[in-house]
Amino acid sequence: MVQSDRSLEVEISDLRRRVGTQRAVVRSGRVGELVVGSTHLPAEALVTLALELESIPAGIAVHGRLEADWVGACRRCLEEVTGRLDSTVDEVFAAGPDSEEHYGFQGDVLDLISLARDCVLLDLPTAPVCTSDCAGPEPDLFPVTVEDDSDVGSERPRDPRWDALDVLLEPPAAD
């Protein structure tokens, strides 16, 4: 668990006094490095949350947007690619730390770091591309070498483990 730098904390004592009270908040902070496949949110990246908080009987409802810049490798050409997350946030914070269905809070402070980390991890692209028409690596950068010219054009021997499947190629027997 990453310790919050308090920039992603929101004081909510005014919201807890009366159900139905709403307030808009914007917070930016760091959540630490997060990695999904070849894509990551750098440790120094800022995550920005623009949220509408609403007091409900079960706690605090949180609705809004999360934005963050990510870095990764193109799945086709392996060049660096960057992007921006723009995620929807729609969660509930329940009073007390032991809620299984909701984020928890104690006292009059919401710590949004767990929410931000979860949103980033769920929305980071797993296989980004630099452009939609990326053709992959330049062939000149990765030349193919052939060790033995005698094997070029010849068929490789068949793996005998496939022999058992040859019965599927035979026509069905006539009854």
CA 45 to CA 83: how far, in whole Å? Answer: 12
Q: Which pLDDT band holds residue 144 (cuts at 50, 70, 90)?
A: low
The residue with greater pLDDT, 159 or 150, is 159
Domains of the chain by residue range? 9-123
Query: Hey, what amino acid is at 115?
Result: L
Does the pLDDT value for residue 139 go beyond 90? no
**Per-residue pLDDT tens digits for 42-59:** 999 999 999 999 999 989
**Per-residue pLDDT tens digits for 70-112:** 999 999 888 999 999 999 999 999 987 666 788 988 889 999 9
**CA Rg value for the chain:** 27
| Sequence-separated contacts (24+) of 3-6 with Cβ below 8 Å | 4/29, 4/111, 4/113, 5/29, 5/30
CB–CB of 93/113 below 8 Å?
A: no
**Per-residue pLDDT tens digits for 5-29:** 689 999 998 988 899 999 999 999 9
